[in-house]
Amino acid sequence: MRKKDCFYLGKIVKKYSFKGELLIKLDTDEPDIYDGLDSVFIDLRGNLVPFFIENSQLHKSELLRIKFEDIDIEADADALLKCDLYLPLEFLPKLEGDKFYFHEVIGFKVEDLHHGSIGIIKAINDSTAQALFEIDKDGIEILIPMNDHFIKKIDKPNKTVFVDTPEGLIDLYLEE
């Protein structure tokens, strides 16, 4: 399995017991949909390795308590601390309407209400306080905040995001 065919599920943050149980900090708004998984992929030194789950249950709000098969002692659990967990993209729940996952809109065209065609989404920058569309317009990078007030429509069949950006935002990038 390749990382590009998967989505980030969470990180192993600490041990739960001396019997090899671990706590996973899930990267989701709906942790309960991941309770009862059969297996996950763990990133071990850049390789995704499948691990089978003996049992799991939600622990507090966003933590998942997991007991992996063949991880029965503290030392084995220690080796997995701080590792990232992944699942194949097909495990993502389907989203309705204009909701989307970041990876889905890469390559979509962006159309602005005032400027027309802006360019193509080449990436999503979610390392800032607000996620940003990184758009390529003929070699010029344009950043547009992924704000519900700016995003007017997502046309998935035609791979287009329609936005209404504040006056002057696009001009900042296009002025010589």
In this structure, the answer to whether residues 86 and 47 fall within a common structural domain is: yes
Instruction: Judge whether 96 lies within some domain.
Output: no
Task: Give me the mean pLDDT over the 36-42 stretch.
Answer: 92
State yes or no: pLDDT of 71 exceeds 90: yes
What's the CA gap between 100 and 88, in Å, rounded?
17
104-140 b/e with 16+ CB inside 10 Å = b?
bbeebbbbbeebeebbebeebeeeeeeebbbbebeee
Q: What is the pLDDT of residue 97?
A: 78
What pLDDT, on a 0 to 100 scale, did the predictor assign at position 80? 96
Give the range of the structural domain holding residue 68, as residue numbers without chain letter.
3-91
Please indicate, yes or no, if residue 135 is contained in any of the structural domains. yes
**What is the SS3 assignment for 29?**
coil
CATH number at residue 160: 2.30.30.240
Determine, yes or no, domain membership for 97: no
Last residue in a domain, options 36, 70, 91 = 91
Whole-number Å distance between alpha carbons of 99 and 90? 16
**End-of-domain residue from the set 39, 61, 91:** 91
Mean pLDDT of 21-47: 89
76 with 118, same domain: the answer is no
Residue 166 resides in a domain: yes
- Quote the pTM value: 0.69
Distance CA 124, CA 122 (A): 7
Q: 176 falls in which pLDDT band (50, 70, 90)?
A: low
- Can you tell me the distance from the alpha carbon of 27 to that of 8, in angstroms, rounded to the nearest whole number? 7
Residue-wise pLDDT tens digits, 93-136: 777 777 888 888 999 999 999 899 999 999 999 888 889 999 99
In this structure, are 46 and 26 located in the same domain? yes
Same domain, 19 and 53: yes
Instruction: Judge whether residue 34 has pLDDT over 90.
Output: no
